[in-house]
Structure 1
């Protein structure tokens, strides 16, 4: 019998630990960026797929669908119009690059700008995937605290001054200004303008991530940083993952051609998924404007279900806000709760959650915090999942002492 080949000595330095084998979703799934299954527009997507394939299916014979390396042109044309009306961005289809999800956009910008030892400024609580990727590159990550309006510019100004005094110029400021992940904050337009002026004064680029900006309950949002800066010194990324379906893996990147041409030269993947782009373009041109408000209404309802369940099961032991959009709730538990340990114990009981330290540059601050995604579970599943989570938290950490529904007896 042949002995197993030992490839461990061949691994490149910095290779991450092996992935855990997937055994299905837990019963109460509050992690990741999953969306509401009932709101996936299956019939309209089916119709769009049939229509566009009958009309243009032969273009699948060529890389780029006869649209070039930036991506399917009808989708870029839709985005140019959508970004103008939604975010105030005045760009042409040739200033938009279609990516395989916004994560590829993140990778491309990092590949263009970053090397080991560089410095970037990011929100203290932020997208865990961004933190992971920056860690693998080996950059110096400086976290800036948040308030109810997002990135605190007083601290950002202080940090920029300190770095300048050391002869260090950060490569970019990474921010999620519209429905921040994980806090849900929305940066006001006055602060946005101040951020642009501050970054320009220090010669630092702004990396604007707007993956959740379609999911604002009111439907109104401030003008994007990219638009306020007229595209100068700002790179903008977005996604259809949260507004249509995460499994489609279609995102986009907006930049002036001088920057975009450099990024395009790095995208050596023969193009992002063609069929997904074709179907989205066909669907969005007809249904996007009606679909998003319906999705937002359903998600807002689930958020309120989650908030009510937390209040019932945890009482005052859980502190949380009422975010104006998105799919996440950022929660603070008592200081003695370690959410990394809580996540492990909860998973054994069928509840998955994202512990705070995975989403923060300040591990001590985030130790007692967690993020719950409310988009995918049905309301009754949300209620039961929170009940089980409270039972696990009580057993492991002694809080909550008892749930509010017990107090009423």
Structure 2
């Protein structure tokens, strides 16, 4: 049967087509997937049954009768949670529910950005943010990070340089609490300096707090939004990492001046209402006890990953333990090309995120990897890292000899 050729109809500038999905790799260290054992399935099932029994008839209307900002009980929960955990004073009317934080990114960008604009971001960053900015034709200026997150001295220098060239960035994007991919937490003093620079230069802050619930000790600095006096902060978050990624529920806290524009742009007839109802019912009684349990499991998997890297790579793998979250940012020796390593490893059943895809500076990230430790089991982490080390040794000569080989030689 002849196939219609759509290629002459496709406009310029589209992303490259994706390959058909063939399933996850046997040893998958990619994506923002969470711990399968950490999903509170039974409590979610009971919550779904309760809320559908009580309010299921409201599914006959798009907004459940709660308006375009989303299901009111979930917004009420979020207002209370953000006040308790992040010091952020807001009401349900200041919150908009969206289809995951990716939709929040899109809406903020649609409201504020045009082709040729400039924004400031952290140098090592969320791939979803970087690819969106590139597709929009926006210039992303990367700011170096250290063990405490974004370097404020580097930010000040970048702002001064842009000002000298007559360029005013549209926003400063930051993931301050458990940064993706580095796992750093921006201290309160740096947050104050960031706000001062924001006010001095008249540039708003775009605060992405998607991983803020997953700190190892359960504590965090106040949200930047909570510390702002000038109102120039847009704050976004998500339930993807704290409950389940597949629920696709995120949120935006923003001044009405910009919120009203984002609502006008949100032409999807509303984000998934059933998920919002389910989360509101579940969270009001279970969220506070669930998160510490989830975090304990994630921390144990991180320990397994770091032990496996030390055993298989030795000093060839450099990393700093993250302060929470689900990722480890790893630096391999300079001769390692992470893009090539990722391709070779995938053929052996191990998927990794190569660093250049997660940075504004591909050369800086050439030999870096982002490893998600949340989804694989402890056994899969150990086996997958052993295979990755062997592939890396075959392709790039490092580690010079894997720990498994050394043990075998010693036994022989």
Normalised-by-shorter TM-score class: over 0.9
Determine the structure 1 residue equivalent to 2:177: 178
Do the aligned partners of residues 231 and 30 (structure 1) sit closer, same or farther apart at CA in structure 2, a change above 3 Å counting? farther
**Matches of 2:230 and 2:396, distance apart in 1:** 49
Q: How many residues align?
A: 408
Determine the structure 1 residue equivalent to 2:30: 31
1:243 is displaced (CA, Å) by 0.3
**Matches of 2:338 and 2:261, distance apart in 1:** 41
**Matches of 2:19 and 2:72, distance apart in 1:** 39
Determine the structure 1 residue equivalent to 2:349: 350
Q: Where does 1:1-400 land on structure 2 (aligned, <5 Å)?
A: 3-230=2-229, 232-400=231-399
Q: How big is the alpha-carbon RMSD for the aligned residues of Structure 1 and Structure 2?
A: 0.9
Is the CA contact (8 Å cut-off) linking 1:231 and 1:256 kept in structure 2?
Answer: no
Q: Secondary structure at the match of 1:320?
A: coil
Is the CA contact (8 Å cut-off) linking 1:122 and 1:173 kept in structure 2?
Answer: yes
1:302 is displaced (CA, Å) by 0.1
1:230 is displaced (CA, Å) by 4.3
**Matches of 1:29 and 1:258, distance apart in 2:** 42
- Which sections of structure 2, spanning at least 5 residues, go unmatched? none
Q: Secondary structure at the match of 1:269?
A: coil
1:404 is displaced (CA, Å) by 3.4
**Matches of 1:194 and 1:96, distance apart in 2:** 26
Q: Secondary structure at the match of 1:121?
A: strand
Is the CA contact (8 Å cut-off) linking 2:199 and 2:230 kept in structure 1?
Answer: no
**Residues 11-20 or 237-246, more deviating:** 11-20
Q: Secondary structure at the match of 1:319?
A: coil
1:403 is displaced (CA, Å) by 2.4
Q: Secondary structure at the match of 2:237?
A: strand
1:146 is displaced (CA, Å) by 0.5
Is the CA contact (8 Å cut-off) linking 1:342 and 1:393 kept in structure 2?
Answer: yes
**Matches of 1:330 and 1:231, distance apart in 2:** 34
**Matches of 1:155 and 1:216, distance apart in 2:** 26
Q: Secondary structure at the match of 2:267?
A: coil
TM superposition outliers: structure 1 runs of 4+ over 6 Å: none
1:332 is displaced (CA, Å) by 0.3
1:19 is displaced (CA, Å) by 1.0
Q: Secondary structure at the match of 1:94?
A: helix
**Matches of 1:9 and 1:216, distance apart in 2:** 50
Q: Secondary structure at the match of 2:213?
A: coil
Q: Secondary structure at the match of 1:334?
A: coil
Q: Secondary structure at the match of 1:214?
A: helix
Q: Secondary structure at the match of 1:131?
A: helix
Determine the structure 2 residue equivalent to 1:404: 403
Is the CA contact (8 Å cut-off) linking 1:355 and 1:370 kept in structure 2?
Answer: yes
Is the CA contact (8 Å cut-off) linking 2:236 and 2:251 kept in structure 1?
Answer: yes
Q: TM-score, normalization: structure 2?
A: 0.98
**Matches of 1:10 and 1:193, distance apart in 2:** 51
**Residues 338-347 or 154-163, more deviating:** 154-163
**Matches of 2:225 and 2:257, distance apart in 1:** 15
**Matches of 1:244 and 1:64, distance apart in 2:** 23
Do the aligned partners of residues 392 and 405 (structure 1) sit closer, same or farther apart at CA in structure 2, a change above 3 Å counting? closer
**Matches of 1:89 and 1:52, distance apart in 2:** 28
**Matches of 1:82 and 1:213, distance apart in 2:** 12
